[in-house]
Amino acid sequence: MVDAKKIHVLLVEDDTFLANIYKTKFDMEGFKVSVSENGEEGLADAKKKKPDIILLDILLPKMDGFTVLEKLKEDSGVKDIPVILLTNLGQKDDVSKGLEMGAVDYLIKAHFKPSEVVEKVNKVLKV
């Protein structure tokens, strides 16, 4: 399903348990996964590692996901990397804000199983 060049997913998630669940699922599906535990680290990793797609939580230590998204979109080196917001914030305002800021999708963790998140990533990257 995934081609020879492993698709690199950057997961910016401060919940270690949840990050491991997603990482395991993406690993099983043949993706390369990097995990950043806070917003600052996520931004730095995105610039350094240039992943194919970023799964970004909003409620993060050091720098929230909206700020990370804003900084990614301001940086010509990483602004074209698709970002899916993966969060528990389900307010309409948050969803609208995230999509207006340039996220390609907004997934509420409680509503999506890890396998469905993998499907979304495949859809966005047209794999």
pLDDT tens across 39-81, in order?
A: 999 999 999 999 999 999 999 999 999 999 999 999 999 999 9
Q: Which residues pair with 107 in a beta bridge?
A: 86
Comparing CA positions, the residue from 55, 72, 61 lying closest to residue 38 is: 61
> What letters, b where the CB count within 10 A reaches 16 and e where it falls short, cover 100-126?
ebebbbbbebeeeebeebbebbbeeee
What's the pLDDT score for residue 52?
97
Pairing of strands 83-87, 32-36: unpaired
Give the three-class secondary structure for 82: coil
Q: What is the pTM for the complete model shown?
A: 0.94
Domains, the chain, ranges and CATH?
A: 8-124 (3.40.50.2300)
Residue 34, token pair as written in the block: 């990097």
